[in-house]
Chain A
Amino acid sequence: SQQGEEDPQALSIQEGENATMNCSYKTSINNLQWYRQNSGRGLVHLILIRSNEREKHSGRLRVTLDTSKKSSSLLITASRAADTASYFCASQLSGSARQLTFGSGTQLTVLP
């Protein structure tokens, strides 16, 4: 079964606005990763945040991790039409021998 649950399932915003996606997980993790998938393509890694980290930035992306709430969020600032894609969180569970458990994803549409 999927460990990660993502919220919202779909998000539609205007270009220039910020987009926030949330991910929850159920058991302790080694790290949590965010990936992007364009339609019909493979996944592209965005950010990895370790269990002892609380926030990480990469360009217009900001990821937070709250291990007490077992949740993470991905913020995309100043969104562009090219950001339209599905976004997935994936947790590497403690003791899981490097397996990732993926959430069901958020479909982001950025309108020009």
Chain B
Amino acid sequence: DGGITQSPKYLFRKEGQNVTLSCEQNLNHDAMYWYRQDPGQGLRLIYYSQIVNDFQKGDIAEGYSVSREKKESFPLTVTSAQKNPTAFYLCATESGTGAYSNQPQHFGDGTRLSIL
């Protein structure tokens, strides 16, 4: 999706190291999401943010942290507390507002994280 840029495309983490995955969007969407995808599996929600300076834990938040200081940016940090970080990480945005939305999510092209 041209409006969402994830970087880097590939990332390697050493033992005990924190790494940060970048997600930038120019779609002017309020909501942003981070998902983890393991091989042959669906997506699991890590964190999401519906507005600047606010974010909520998803189903698998342990070992991860996020910030939302700007509307355009929602970086994800994989901390050393995440013991099995090898996965494909996807960032998404959504344009809806309010408690419920009937808008689709738009995805970046992902970052593949591996352990060295």
Q: Please give the residue numbers on chain A whose beta carbons come within 8 Å of chain B beta carbons, in ascending order.
A: 1-2, 4, 30-31, 33, 35, 40-45, 48, 50, 88, 90, 92, 97-105
Contact = CB atoms under 8 A, between A and B. Distances in A.
A102 B89 CA distance: 14
B25 interface: no
Interface in B37-90: 40-45, 48, 50, 56, 58-59, 88, 90
Interface of B: 1, 4, 6, 31, 35, 40-45, 48, 50, 56, 58-59, 88, 90, 92, 94, 96, 99-110, 112
Contacts of B103: 48
Chain A interface, DSSP helix/strand/loop, else mixed? strand
A98 B31 contact: yes
A101 B102 CA distance: 14
B100 A105 contact: no
Closest 3 pairs (CB-CB, A-B): A42-B107, A45-B104, A102-B42
A99 B45 contact: yes
Contacts of B58: 99
Given A40-B110, A43-B105, 16 more contacts: A2-B42, A33-B105, A41-B110, A42-B1, A42-B6, A42-B110, A50-B102, A88-B42, A90-B43, A97-B56, A98-B50, A99-B45, A99-B48, A104-B41, A105-B40, A105-B42
Contacts of B48: 99
A76 B80 CA distance: 43
Given A42-B1, A42-B90, A88-B43, A48 B102 contact: yes
A101 B108 CA distance: 18
A100 B42 contact: no
A43 B50 contact: no
Contacts of B6: 42
